[in-house]
Amino acid sequence: MHLSELIAGGVIVRNGDDARLIPAIKTVYGLAELAVNKGCKIADVIPDGGEAVDLAELAANGKLDVPCRHPEPARMYLCGTGLTHLGSASTRNAMHAQTQEHVSDSMKMFQMGVEGGKPATDEVGAQPEWFYKGPGTEAVAPGEPLTSPGFALDGGEEPEIAGFYLIGADGTPNRIGFTLSNEFSDHVTERINYLFLAHSKLRPASFGPELLVGDLPRHIEGRSRIIRGNEVIFDQPFLSGEDNMSHTIANLEHHHFKYAPFRRAGDLHVHMFGTATLSFGAGVKTEDGDVFEISAPAFGQPLRNPLKTMADTGLVTTKQL
């Protein structure tokens, strides 16, 4: 089952090729809240009926939003983990290694995941890299521009899977589902020094258009493309799912939600699980107007967003009160 949300309000449920607008439900957040309060699955609170819709047409016309938003954007957290996928270390190590023989902190972190990122069900595994991207205001709908600030040195895509979580009244994280994500980052800034990673991640990210409800497939095959005008300038496959990762999803979830401030009732968390495919690693320099396209059959409609560079606002000064 897949869920989508209309920018104008309304939730679409898709089962196979059949998509319909759910009657009387305006948001996926509201639907998830209802399921949490009733102590049941989301499928159990979806009413019957509703008009049939053409999901591909809605996506093409820019009618679909991020699949789930919090009604208060400041209570929606965009975070993620890196160096979680087999093969993800080579690009990062090349960015941070001082010499060919040097083992960077990135490679050390990756190796920790390989050795201890998939613990037994009742055990805690290795702690992954973690990053913060911003509040819900930075969640970009499919089709909308991913904006790069004027001071940025680069704006590049990261094709990832993201999980959406609603925190229940008792502090329990409830996973709503998984979506495609473009974890937009500044890799040139990151390459200067590993400690600039936090700076490089403070950018918007896009999600959707569809949210997969249920378990994440163990093996996911997708494609990451960049389209410039009528030309495809980058086209590579990406793999995800636990069969292609050095961590389990449960281990990554634990190391995020073990922090009490991340278990505040009613908050919405979006957690991105990392990637192993970057156009930056292939030497691509993105330009204004380039369109990022991330797709995987398991997630239905592809996620597309153009790149837009904002004007530099110059020096930011504070005002003494």
Other Cβ atoms within 10 Å of 248 Cβ, number: 16
Q: What is the mean pLDDT of residues 139-147?
A: 98
What is the mean predicted confidence (pLDDT) over 83-87?
Answer: 85
Task: Please give the full DSSP string across 199-248, using - where no structure is assigned.
Answer: HHH-S-EEEEEEEE-SPPPS-EEEEEEEEETTEEEEEEEEEESGGGBSS-
pTM: 0.94
How confident is residue 86, by pLDDT bands cut at 50, 70 and 90? Answer: confident
Enter the tokens of residue 76. 């929606």
Q: Render pLDDT for 92-118 as a digit per residue (tens, 0 to 9).
A: 555 555 555 667 788 888 898 889 999
Whether pLDDT at 50 is above 70 = yes
Q: At what angle do helices 89-96 and 105-116 cross, to 10 degrees?
A: 150
Task: Report how far residue 26's alpha carbon sits from residue 242's, in angstroms, rounded to the nearest whole number.
Answer: 33
171-188: pLDDT as tens digits: 999 999 999 999 999 999
Q: Considering only CA atoms, which of 294, 293, 305, 273 is closest in space to residue 78? A: 273
Q: Residue 92: what pLDDT?
A: 56
pLDDT digits 0-9 by tens, 15-40 = 999 999 999 999 999 999 999 999 99
* pLDDT higher than threshold 90 for residue 276: no
pLDDT in tens, 119-132: 999 999 999 999 99
- pLDDT for the residue 194: 86
Q: Provide the percentage of residues in the chain whose pLDDT is more than 70.
A: 95
Mean pLDDT taken over the chain: 94
Q: Residue 160 has what pLDDT?
A: 97
Residues in the chain: 321
Region 134-155: mean pLDDT is 97
**Dist. CA 135–CA 117, nearest whole Å:** 27
**Which H helix or E strand runs over 271?**
strand 268-272
